[in-house]
Structure formats: C-alpha cells, structure tokens
Amino acid sequence: MAERVFMKGCEAIAEAGVRAGCRFFAGYPITPQNEIPEYFARRMPEVGGVFVQGESEVASVNMLYGAAATGTPAMSSSSSCGISLYSEGVSYCASARLPVVYVNVQRGGPGIGAIQPAQQDYLQATKASGNGGFRMIVLAPATVQECVDMVYEAFELAQRDNNPVLVLTDGVIGTMMEPVVLPPMKTDEDIKAMKAKFADKACTGHEPCKQHFCFPGSVGTGQEIANKEAEKMYATWDKDVRVEKYLTDDAEIIFAAYGISARISRAVVKQLRAEGIKAGMIRPITVSPFPYEAFSSLDFNQVKGILDVEMSIPAQMRWDIDHAVQGRCPINECRRSGGQLLTNDQVLEGARQLIKEVL
C-alpha cells in the first residue's frame, strides 16, 4: 500500500509538480500561495531544476514562457490579482502552443481584495484568461489529494495538447493539511522523453532557417491559421470532461458546487438526506470544459430546483448552470465573497429556502 503523508495544500501542489517532471519554476510571493514558491526554492536544487523568484508576476510568467519554449517542463503559481498580471503571458503561451502549467490559489477581490480564500476568478479562468479567445483545460480540486493528482495530470495534458493548463484552487485548500498519497517521481529518462516530444519546436539555438518554433504574427493569415488549428484541438476535449454526481439518481434538490464549496455542500446533502429530503450534488471537476450534459440531462420532472453554492458575489458559475438548464427549473444561489467563508449553516439555510419554494 502506498505511503500516506500529511501535507499542506500548497506544499503538496509543489511536490506534485516536481514529481510530474517540472524542472523550472518562476513565481512571485503573494498570499495565500506563498508556500508553493518557497517549497520549489528548497526542492528544485535537489532535482537539478531551476527556481527563479521574479521581480514581479509579469516577469515570472514571461520567464515561464521562455523556459517552456526550450522544451523544459515548466510551472508557475499565483493568487487572483497576481494571476491577472499573468494574463498576457499566458495568452502568449497559448498562441505559441507551449505546454505550461500554472496554479491559481484564489483569494478575495476585485482588485487587490482580501488575502482570505474566495472563488471569484471562475469567469477569468474559464472564459477570459487572456486576450484572443484561447481556451485551456481548467481543473478544480476539492481536496489536497486532488490537488496532487491534478497537478501531476496537468503536465500530461499540457504536453499532450501543447497548451497551457490551469489548476484552479482556493486559499482554503491551499492552506489546509490533509493526508495524501504522492505519485511516482518522473525519472531523468522520463523528462528527456518529455523534452524530446517538443524538440522539433523548441528554441535551442538552431540556425534561423532550421528553427521550427513559430509564434503566429499579426500580419497575414498566420494567426488565423493558428486559431483554426487550436479550435480543432478544443473540439477533442469532450473526452476530458469530468464531473462528480453525488446522490443525484433520485434527487429532487440539486446542489451545484466546485472546490471547497462542494465539500461544504456534500455535508449539507448528507444532513438533508438524514431528514428524508432527496438532495444530491453535481460537482464540476473540470470547470473548463464544463460538464453541461450533467445538468442538461437531469430529469426536470423529478428535479424541482438547483442551489448554486459558490464563494463569489455576484455568482459566476451560475452562468454555465443557466446555459445548461435553459430555464427548466428554478435556480437559487448561496454565496459569500471577499474572503468570507461559507458555513454549513449558511448553505443549509439556502437549501431550506429553496425547498420551501419548490417542494
């Protein structure tokens, strides 16, 4: 049986990145993700990797671009307002089709906001991570173990698609401690193989006439051709959609929640079930691509209402839920924001209000 170790979320994220093959990390301190760069600063020299604390988020994301362009497995992390400063660099990575991984440990906003946890970056992560309309796979863990598993997998997805991958977590999961089983360490041979897959595109000192790496320009049709190729790639992501359906088979009330809000909602679903109320939950695990079918395929003769639970005001995931449900049942919201945490009692109160209205 694999050994379980007790780790803080941010440190587990960093160790998962190292084990997935990350050999370059650039980042800048910002609460509540500071333990990620701190951990990489200690860990990278042990595996022959490079850690750089950039002078800013803008510098860090462009260093990420440069490292990935050489074929080096590369990763970064920040929190909310820091991620906003990453936007242009991530857009460049998407345009150049670079396999980078980055993590957003969300905090309150808008603006500099609060340093406490929130889920106020959902629309930024899933709809507008930068200019130009590119898309990314966005994974949303609800446990520290899922943080480990998703960061590890994010490198595989980024390498598969030559495209940025985002792990969208929050300050609760980033700072909490839970037991985890760590994945195996990629060997030097594994990392060489990862680099070899990108060798024909990598910037490694080729003569200009032999350099295959291409950044689409703004003159002519090069950018449109690149966008069409990216669109073909996005169309393959149906197979990557992941969702958890918890006690939904006979549910009359459905909770919709991701990340830490889903953990709170699960406890409330159990409490309502103990009272004889048929409650269930749909938890998007990939928030991009979003599991629209999980909502659109519900039996709306049975399902009387949906409670959208998220730490964002205004609600942001609600847009995707509305798009899937198309008005076929009432949707209420249970929300906090600005670093104010949801509690079981608040979610239970929101559920009881919905039950009063629809049952």
pLDDT of residue 179: 97
Quick one: pLDDT at residue 218?
59
Task: Respond yes or no on whether the N-terminal peptide bond of residue 29 is cis (omega within 30° of 0).
Answer: no
The answer to whether 4-239 and 244-358 have equal CATH topology is yes
Cα(32)–Cα(175) distance, rounded to whole angstroms? 7
Q: What is the pLDDT of residues 94-129, one digit of tens each?
A: 999 999 999 999 999 999 999 999 999 999 999 999
Answer for the pair 155, 198: CB distance below 8 angstroms, yes or no: no
Contact 94, 130 (CB under 8 A): yes
Q: How far is CA 257 from CA 115, 146, 154, 295, in A?
A: 22, 16, 22, 12
Fold of 4-239: Rossmann fold (3.40.50)
Q: What is the model's pLDDT at position 294?
A: 98
Point out the residues of the chain with pLDDT beneath 70. Answer: 1, 205-220
Contact 318, 331 (CB under 8 A): yes
Name the helix (H) or strand (E) containing 125. helix 122-127
Q: Report pLDDT for 199.
A: 84
Q: What single letter denotes the amino acid at residue 214?
A: C
pLDDT in tens, 163-173: 999 999 999 99
Among candidate residues 237, 254, 249, the one with its CA nearest the CA of residue 308: 254
Q: Is the pTM of this model over 0.85?
A: yes
Architecture category of domain 244-358 in CATH: 3-Layer(aba) Sandwich (3.40)
The predicted pLDDT at position 203 comes to: 80
Domain boundaries, the chain: 4-239, 244-358
Cα dihedral angle (185, 187, 188, 190), rounded to 10 degrees? -110
Residue 226: predicted pLDDT: 87
Q: Which two tokens stand for residue 76?
A: 């970064």
Rounded to whole angstroms, how far apart are CA atoms 72 and 91? Answer: 19
- State residue 219's pLDDT score: 60
Residue 256 has what pLDDT?
A: 98
